[in-house]
Structure 1
Amino acid sequence: MKNIYKIISLNILGLILLTTYYFTYRAGFWFNIDSAIFHFFNAPLSTNKVYLYLVAVTNYRLFDVIAFLAMALLYLHYFLKQSKQDRRRMIAIGFTMLLMAVLIKQYGRFIPISHESPSLYFDHVNRVSQLTNFGTKDASGDSFPGDHGMMLMIFAAFMARYFGLKAFLYSAGIVVIFSLPRIMAGAHWFTDVYVGSLSMVSIVLSWFLLTPASDWVIGKLTKLFSALLDRFKIESL
């Protein structure tokens, strides 16, 4: 298997992140990082109205649609460049992303780490929902790992695998931009995304995207979608 060293490296990375986190997420290395980042973003909420409402708006549930549109537009950019057959393959790739998102989310349930968001863990903090009238997400009873960040990272991983470095850099930018608001509001710890989500995506997706498994699944789905589209005479795809 030509990518075995990449797979092993990504699995080691994921296991190191999870192991170190397990022993230090309540006190020590990762907790110190999380605490510093949370208080850095939380303190200005009570003094800077522009910043407060920026955090409120970007954590409003409807804002998640913008994250989806950003991914969809990037995907559409590559989709429009493809031939008819390759467009059908891209439909299969998109469907495979969704399947892997469901599977990885289920895998996350087996990780023996569970904690509330920093906005609930610390006392006497600024809560965006209490300082504004927005129905914004600023807390979670179980924030590890970050589901929102995980979905974004899965998208980035697929873009890297099938569309190259440039596509990955664009999608990595989407990960950073749209995962940051949850961290700023205290709905997630920094490590919920950059330890929890990243470790699971690294471990699980490496065995799928860097082996023949992904091409096999996508190939089967491409044939299925092609047969359905031809049967219903959908010539535009």
Structure 2
Amino acid sequence: MDKDNRIQAAWRWPALLGLNLLAAAVLASWLLPATRALWDGADLWLFQSLNGSLGHSALWDGFWAVTSTRLSDALVGVLMLALMLHSRWVFRAGELRPALFTFLGLLLMLLVIRVLFNKLVGVLDWQHASPSTLVAGTYHLSGAFPELERLFELKDRSSRSFPGDHASVLLLWGLFMAQFSRGWKLAASLALVVLFMLPRLVAGAHWLVDVAVGGLFIALVSYAWGYCTPLAGHIARGLAWLCQPLWTLLQRLPLINRLLVVNPQRAA
């Protein structure tokens, strides 16, 4: 990636230190007895408020059931990718490929950090089950919509809900987009992150701390060590080199070759 490109992972010592300290503070706020009670209270209150809204309207219940499926997760991923690769959203035409490859590099960092953190969670016995399996009176979407559960696997329960893996990816995407967004586009990107995290909370697959502590910790550390060091940049350059033959092939395909990420010269 050239020096004029905004999207360059590089040593950013203040941000690297600040993001790691913030991640440590978030995790400590859940582990320390003085603030743990606040998290526990917020966990139960939010779950009862969100899940308690179910069971009164078939339309409302159906919306959250559909958005809690694996299929919905895939569609959210497509939308996130589409926004990232839309030349009129955040990145210019010439930045689309660097943005794509850099974010993929960050995802690889997240995968490694998530595996390591999950091992730490197991060793230190921080793991817990989701609220839908522990709180009496829970409204189970999988029971109310058995066909959705059978066809698409409705995500409303887990015996190991900490940290929120789904949330960590969304938060990482939000951090990356926030780096380059301003004004209403920044607000819209962050609002989408919150909206896409809500189904797991409404259905009871996750507590608030699974998202706001576990998921955020992983996202912050991944972003710090991926984008505030050259690591994601090295991965991005490697992916760009490997994908050169793919771009050549895609540029020959009708309709596909009209995408700016495939053919940036069309923006000229």
TM-score, normalised via structure 2 length: 0.75
SS where residue 191 of structure 1 aligns?
helix
Query: Please, which of 2, 15, 30 is the counterpart of residue 6 of structure 1?
Result: 15
For the residues of structure 2 that align with 1:93 and 1:154, how far apart are their CA atoms? 12
Matching residue of 2:84: 75
State the distance in 2 between where 1:25 and 1:99 align.
Answer: 35
**1:103 Cα deviation after fit:** 1.5
Deviates more, 1:175-184 or 1:15-24: 15-24
1:5-64 residue CA offsets vs partner (Å, 9 max, x unmatched): 222222122112112212459961101000000000122323333322222121122111
Partner residue, 1:210: 228
The answer for the alignment partner of 2:139 in structure 1 is 126
Taking the aligned partners of 2:39 and 2:93, their CA distance within structure 1 comes to 44
1:49-128 aligned at under 5 Å gives the runs 49-78=58-87, 81-83=92-94, 86-109=95-118, 110-111=120-121, 112=124, 113-128=126-141
Match of 1:199 in 2: 217
Q: In the TM superposition, what is the alpha-carbon distance from 1:213 to its structure 2 partner?
A: 2.8
**AA partner of residue 195 (structure 2):** I
Are 2:157 and 1:146 equivalent residues in the alignment? no
Which residue type is aligned with residue 132 of structure 1?
F
Which region of structure 1 is more displaced relative to structure 2, 17-26 or 32-41?
Answer: 17-26
Given residue 45 of structure 1, which amino acid in structure 2 is its aligned partner?
Answer: L
RMSD after superposition: 2.9
CA distance in 1, matches of 2:40, 2:247: 55
Residue of structure 1 in register with 2:56 after alignment: 47
- Counterpart contact for 1:88–1:225, Cα < 8 Å: no
Once residues 231 and 182 of structure 2 are traced to their aligned partners in structure 1, the CA distance between those partners, rounded to angstroms, is 21
What is the total number of aligned residue pairs between the two structures?
233
Partner of 1:17: 26
Unpaired segments ≥5 residues, structure 1: none
Of residues 39, 48, 51 in structure 2, which corresponds to 1:30? 39
Q: CA deviation at 1:132?
A: 3.0
* Greater alpha carbon shift after TM alignment, 217-226 vs 48-57: 217-226
Say whether the 8 Å CA contact 2:68–2:203 is kept in structure 1: yes
Q: Residues 181-200 of structure 1 correspond to what in structure 2 (within 5 A)?
A: 181-200=199-218
> What is the CA-CA distance between 1:220 and the residue it aligns to?
3.5
What secondary structure is seen at the aligned counterpart in 2 of 1:139? coil
